[in-house]
Amino acid sequence: MRFQNKVCLVTGAGSGIGRATAVAFAREGARVLVADVNGTGGEETVAQITATGGITLFINVNIADRQQVGGMVARAVGEWGQLDCAVNCAGVTGGKSAPTHEYPDDAWAQNVAVNLNGTLFCMQAELTQMLRQGGGAIVNIASAAALKGHPNNIGYCATKHAIVGMTKTAAIEYATRNIRINALCPSAIETPMLMDGRLNLRNNPELREKFTNDQAMKRMGHPDEVADVALWLCSDQSTFITGHAMTVDGGMFA
């Protein structure tokens, strides 16, 4: 119960890593604001949490819209009085694969709107509240694509690299204000984004094998294995860690 009496917000909590993180926070006693642009997914997460006696609420929010993001933080504070932890997990791939000279404008724009602008808007709203109350912890979900090149995926790769830069910059700015900001860089994690999204690994056994073998452990990660690290970075077990971009990668970068 590391998060008893804490208020935690998770974006992208309607699916995959975000859902696993919201469920884990609730299991450890937090009041959890489940935020997602997908109402059905968000409500499913809320149902999963309330079924086990957890305290949670869903808010439908598009993180690419600054006003909606402001409303999201205001909702957490309005309901529960504070915001202790935020995991900014909502993200997109842009949906298309192409080499850089042919990379489509719409895929670039989607990555910039959600991964880049959206993560900034979330951090700004969360930091404003955390400054007001005197502390907090933020974890931004970047990617292995934040630390190395990702062929045919420049929009995603560029915006995930930017998330690490934003994380480090903010970590320095607020290091003496009792606010820690870290990033996670997962490799292949078995979620709808990877299995059914741009790469559709579910229906592509060859590519699935390649993604499996990229990890030294010769398996993909489970969303819970990312959630566990996100919780640790938000917890009082990591009070001297800020500005870190931590891989969760089954040994891929080793």
Ligand X SMILES: NC(=O)c1ccc[n+]([C@@H]2O[C@H](COP(=O)([O-])OP(=O)(O)OC[C@H]3O[C@@H](n4cnc5c(N)ncnc54)[C@H](O)[C@@H]3O)[C@@H](O)[C@H]2O)c1
Q: How far is the CB of 51 from ligand X (least distance, A)?
A: 19
CB–CB of 231/237 below 8 Å? no
Task: Provide the b/e sequence for 218-253 (b: ≥16 CB within 10 Å).
Answer: eebbebebbbebbbbbbeeebeeebbbbbbbbbebe
Q: How far is the CB of 177 from ligand X (least distance, A)?
A: 26
Largest CA distance in the chain: 51
Judged by CB under 6 A, which stretch of 31-39, 71-79, 172-180, 201-209 contacts ligand X?
31-39
Write down the residue that tokens 């309330």 correspond to.
Answer: 50
Q: How far is the CB of 115 from ligand X (least distance, A)?
A: 7
Please enumerate, as own/partner, the contacts of 190-193 that have beta carbons within 8 Å and a separation of 24 or more: 190/220, 190/221, 190/222, 190/223, 191/15, 191/16, 191/17, 191/223, 192/15, 192/16, 193/15, 193/16, 193/91, 193/93
Identified binder of ligand X from the candidate list 49, 120, 194, 252, rule CB under 6 A: 194
- C-beta closer to ligand X: residue 130 or 252: 252
Identified binder of ligand X from the candidate list 86, 171, 189, 231, rule CB under 6 A: 189
- C-beta closer to ligand X: residue 173 or 224: 224
Q: How far is the CB of 176 from ligand X (least distance, A)?
A: 29
Q: How far is the CB of 154 from ligand X (least distance, A)?
A: 15
Q: How many residues bind ligand X (CB under 6 A)?
A: 30
| Residues between 106 and 125 that touch ligand X (CB under 6 A) | 114, 118
| Residues between 201 and 230 that touch ligand X (CB under 6 A) | none
The yes or no reply on residue 247 touching ligand X (CB under 6 A) is no
- C-beta closer to ligand X: residue 68 or 129: 68
- DSSP-assigned beta bridge partners for residue 34: 10, 58
The yes or no reply on residue 147 touching ligand X (CB under 6 A) is no
**Of 28, 84, 79, 81, nearest to 57 (Cα)?**
79
Write down the residue that tokens 């696993």 correspond to.
Answer: 20
Task: Kindly name the residue from 58, 103, 156, 211 that is annotated as catalytic.
Answer: 156
- C-beta closer to ligand X: residue 115 or 242: 115
Residue 136 falls in which region: left (phi positive, over 0), alpha (psi -120 to 50) or beta: left
The yes or no reply on residue 188 touching ligand X (CB under 6 A) is yes
Judged by CB under 6 A, which stretch of 36-44, 100-108, 228-236, 238-246 contacts ligand X?
36-44
Task: At 171, list the tokens.
Answer: 């970590």
| Residues between 75 and 104 that touch ligand X (CB under 6 A) | 89-92
- Indicate if 156 belongs to the active site: yes
**Of 18, 140, 9, nearest to 69 (Cα)?**
9
CB–CB of 175/201 below 8 Å? no
Task: Give residues in contact with ligand X (CB under 6 A).
Answer: 11-12, 14-18, 36-38, 41, 61-64, 89-92, 114, 118, 141, 143, 186, 188-189, 191-194
* Catalytic positions, written as ranges: 156
